[in-house]
Structure 1
Amino acid sequence: MLRCSRDEHKLRLPLLPATPSRGRKNSWVAQRLLDAGAIIPGKTHLHPLAYGITGENPDYGDCVQPRDSSLLTGGSSSGAAASVQEGSALAAIGTDTGGSIRVPAALCGLAGYRASHGVSHGEERWSGAAHLAPSFDTLGLLFRDLRDGPALASAIYDIPSVPAPTQLRIGYVGDEFTHDCEPEVLSAFAAWKQRLTERPATLTPIDTTFWVDSLEIFASIQASEAAQLHRGHYQHFERAIAERLAWGASITTDQLRLLHRRLEDFRSKMSLLFRQVDLLLIPCAPVSKLFAGQDQSHVRQEILRYTTPVSLAGLPAVTLAGEAIGAPFGTGMQLAAAPMQDGALLSFAASLIE
């Protein structure tokens, strides 16, 4: 089992990978965990093709929360979130392209870690795994306690544990961005802002005007890359995914070139933003619940508006569960840092739990 130090105590963490495999060789990430002494007790299912934010699955059944079967886990790392929530694992492997770690962590009351795109990048680290959209795909973890994050990241990525930074400048999204949030989410947002000021940290609102195009840029490039990877097999997927793949295939080379220019412009503006602040605080989703059996088609874009800015910039992010500070269940926040600042982010997040 993986042993990790926390407050001078030793934890033994069984982990679950989020993607089923029938191969004869372990994926890179699974082998890393086994080499560190982890026990992998099982494998879990996910949203088909990892191309969805709800956790619905027409082949294996929609993934509901063990805590409350009327609620979906969120996705795409749906089975991973369910396994940690029910206690069959203390941590689980997942991926995050547009929010697939952050959203299920938030909705299921868990901690989550999405690695920097640079940390997750490379053929070796995706050995034994399948891409959805390489421009944005990252690896990550779902777990219960923020204090476990540094040890887990160290075991997989060799990210060194560093002292928690202090006197941070934290930018947060303003009312113009959170206008569609449920009251419970706004309550948790306010509670986490208060907690952060006690660290101490300086909180300032940020200008998110340039985020308005983030979902369009993200969804288009994602669909184009997914379509290339799965060309000739669209008919094997559920209708919503097949339609996205067909749309992605219709995006022309000239359109894609323009989209990538817009992506680079977005990343440049995010780099400038991180000259003003050290971290960003954003709700993971404007909702705290996805009810099983209901039409979720409208929810996808509502949630992705909150998660895609982090994805476009390739930022590392940690999900802060609402319940960790007494806020309503399902109201997780995403705390994001500049690219490749994973160690400092994880250490700071761990310091927020008393």
Structure 2
Amino acid sequence: MADLSPESVAAIAGLYELDDRGRHEAWLGRVRTDREVISLLAEAPIPLEQGVIDVHGLVNRPARERWQSRPLAADGESSGPPRTAGQQAAAVQSGETSAVDLVEEALESAHRQRHLNAFIALFEERAREEADAVDRRVWGGEEVGPLAGVTVAVKDLIDVEGYATTGGTRVLDLAPAREDAACVARLRRAGAVILGMANLHGLAYGALSFNPDFGRVLNPRREEALSGGSSGGSGAAVAAGITAGALGTDTGGSVRVPAACCGVVGLKPTFGRVSTAGVYPLGRTMDHVGPVTRTVADAALFLEVLSDEPFAASTTAWRDLDGVVVGVPRTYFFDHLSDEVRAAVEDCERAVVEAGGEVIEADIPSMRFAPAAQLFTIAADALDVHRQMLARKADLLPEDVRLRLEMGMFFLAADYVRAQRLRGMLQKDVDAALEKADVLLMPTTAVTAPDAGVREVRVGDVTWPTQLALSRLTMPFTATGHPALTLPWGSDDRGCPVGLQIVGRPMEEAAILGTGRVLERTRGAAG
């Protein structure tokens, strides 16, 4: 890390054309806050022969054949109105309901729950027109896609044609998008209807979904609690029943954290599995696009639409976990947990065994260094993306986002390279654990959603900033690129959900989705 004497700080700020007046104390305070994580980079025992991580090569790893031939069970029939994306699409395709009706219901729900601040913009007339087009195709006997009429919220970091992406801040000031992001285009081709743009933590750089420009996203499960972030609006829209699904981005946990806080399902696919073309970046070497849904089967349905090739090819379905080995890494992930979260994981382990699976201990020796790999990577990557805006409009940014961006200028090139080598070591250690287990199981967050305004969380004998308490257990897998799924597993005495995380080998989303689907069914989820 760079020398932080007043003279050095001023000189470094000058290199980035930043005004350092009145900022020194804030910068030094942030360094003090992150001191423990910063020190981990130097302490990490990285072998001399360890190269930098190759995240772009993950999509070239072949999935093992056993997962290609064992896909999911679909959601079951609903006795009431269709709730899940799969049920909604089936109802539209059969004529049981219309896409227009689904859109009207979603818009009514969005207006009724406007106070949640889940949306920055609603596309009311456009959504009605798109739904009408879907219905006309159905009535005309044309083939419609697997998401026919399904309403979707899109995180306002992802381009939608004709809309000026805000990134959750009025500072970005982009021109209206000329075309849909690749992921949005895929959803539209599958028949989905884009209802609107979901609110988020500014520039996707935070886990709380505080937003001074567009309002804090409230948690539908407990409005006083945080919704998680950065894709807080995506999580809230699905949890509130406004839309059947949503798109989010995940650079440190930003799909999984809000899904866990709001009690829904969130999937971060393998790095590179889903295109980020048309997505405003935060950290290009860790940015992922993934769905937030009500059920695991819906997450699988969205992934099939979003990815380049289907992963569920045969007709047999997961009904149990017979032959599935679930590894549980006790170190790091279980060092500091709230009582409710710890009890939920133990309950889930019992459910694995009851479903026919085997639970084993998993060892990931380098995991305690993961926060350093994340911090040194995202700090540099994010500054690279936002450097010009920071130089011109720093005073207009939310203070927490501005401070995180500014910190990137104090990390050395050698620090960044070492962080990439550390990511490579982490990736190898996770791969090794997944040689002995089919999937890994751990909590998604160390605590349930704290109430808004809580700046620090005490867990056992440690006190963490709320941001770290929510993202500490998700960030390792954006650093390594492994696919990770979160699903709800009970709640605390305030009604705030607990989220559990299932991690698999690169390109083996079928394994984590299948495991998650069986576990979800044991708790009486839809289907």
Q: Is the 8 A contact 1:151 1:161 kept in 2?
A: no
Structure 1 residues 328 and 274, CA gap change in structure 2 (3 angstroms): farther
- Aligned pairs for 1:182-193 (under 5 A) are 182-193=338-349
In the other structure, the counterpart of 2:305 is 155
Q: Aligned match of 2:443 in 252, 267, 283? A: 283
Contact 1:19-1:46 within 8 A present in 2 as well: yes
Give the match's secondary structure for 2:87: strand
* Within-5 A mapping of 1:43-58: 43-58=197-212
Displacement of 1:58 in angstroms is 1.5
Contact 2:329 2:362 in 1 (8 A): yes
- Contact 1:107 1:288 (C-alpha < 8 Å) held by counterparts: yes
Q: Structure 1 residues 228, 307: closer, same or farther in 2, change over 3 A?
A: same
- The equivalent residue for 1:24 is 178
1:205: how far off? Answer: 1.8
Shift of 1:294: 3.0
SS for the counterpart of 2:289 is strand
Cα distance in 2 for partners of 1:328, 1:156 equals 32
Contact 2:252 2:471 in 1 (8 A): yes
Tell me, in whole angstroms, the C-alpha distance in 2 between the residues paired with 1:192 and 1:199.
10
Deviation at 1:25, TM superposition (A): 1.5
Counterpart residue number, 1:96: 250
Structure-2 residue corresponding to 1:262: 422
Distance 1:209 1:268 in 2: 10
Distance of 2:222 and 2:495 partners within structure 1: 14
Write out aligned runs for 1:1-354 (5 A): 6-7=75-76, 11-12=87-88, 13-19=150-156, 21-22=163-164, 23-120=177-274, 125-157=275-307, 158-162=309-313, 163-164=317-318, 166-174=322-330, 177-234=333-390, 235=394, 236-295=396-455, 298-323=465-490, 329-354=496-521
Residues 201-230 of structure 1 show CA distances to partners (whole Å, capped at 9, x for unaligned) of: 111122243111100111111110000011
Rounded Cα–Cα distance in structure 2 between residues aligned with 1:269 and 1:53: 26
* CA distance in structure 2 between the aligned counterparts of 1:87 and 1:210, rounded to whole angstroms: 40
Q: Is the 8 A contact 1:159 1:342 kept in 2?
A: no
Q: Distance in 2 between matches of 1:285 and 1:5?
A: 28
Shift of 1:327: 12
CA deviation profile, 1:21-51 (whole Å, cap 9, x unmatched): 4223211111111100111111111111111
Q: CA deviation at 1:313?
A: 1.5
Deviation at 1:269, TM superposition (A): 1.7
Q: TM-score, normalised by structure 1?
A: 0.91
CA distance in 2, matches of 1:161, 1:6: 15
Q: Which AA in structure 2 matches 1:214?
A: A
Q: Which has the larger radius of gyration?
A: 2
Q: Which amino acid aligns with 1:154?
A: E
Secondary structure, counterpart of 1:72 in structure 2 = coil
Cα distance change on mapping 1:169 and 1:184 into 2, 3 Å: same
Moved more, 88-97 or 259-268: 259-268
CA separation of 1:7/1:321 partners in 2, compared to 1, >3 Å: closer, same or farther? same
Query: Which whole-Å deviations, capped at 9, do the CAs of 1:165-209 have from their partners, x for residues lacking one?
Result: 741111113266423211111111111111111221111122243
Instruction: Report if the CA contact (8 A) 1:159-1:343 is conserved.
Output: no
More moved, 148-157 vs 135-144: 148-157
Relative to structure 1, the CA distance from residue 105 to residue 335 in structure 2 (aligned partners, 3 Å threshold; closer, same or farther) is same
| 8 A Cα contact 2:366 2:425, kept in partner | no
Distance in 2, matches of 1:263 and 1:168, equals 27
Cα contact 2:328–2:361 (8 A) shared by 1: yes
Change (3 A) 1:310 1:328: farther
The whole-number CA distance in structure 2 between the counterparts of 1:5 and 1:287 is: 31
TM-score by length of 2: 0.62
| Deviates most, 88-97 or 305-314 | 305-314
Specify the SS of the correspondent of 2:325: strand
TM-fit CA distance, 1:11? 1.7
Contact map agreement 2:297 2:517 (CA 8 A) in 1: yes
The one-letter code matched in structure 2 to 1:291 is D
State the 1:68 CA deviation.
2.1
* Structure 2: segments with no counterpart, 5+ residues: 1-72, 79-85, 89-149, 158-162, 165-176, 457-463, 522-527
Structure 1 distance, partners of 2:277, 2:251, is: 17
Deviation larger for 174-183 or 210-219 = 174-183
Instruction: Return the alpha-carbon distance in structure 1 between the equivalents of residues 440 and 238 of structure 2.
Output: 26
Alignment: residue pair count: 346
Q: Tell me by how many angstroms 1:132 deviates.
A: 0.7
Compute the displacement of 1:329 (Å).
3.9
Deviation at 1:96, TM superposition (A): 0.9
Residue identity opposite 2:192 in structure 1:
A
Query: Within 1, Cα distance between the matches of 2:333 and 2:311?
Result: 34
> Whole-Å Cα distance in 1 between the matches of residues 496 and 219 of structure 2?
12
Letter in 2 for 1:335: I
How far did 1:144 drift? 0.9
SS of corresponding position for 1:65:
coil
Letter in 1 for 2:238: V
Q: CA RMSD in A?
A: 2.3
Task: In structure 1, list runs of 5 or more residues that go unmatched.
Answer: none
Deviations, residues 292-334 of structure 1 (Å, cap 9, x unaligned) = 233258122233321122222211111120139x997421001
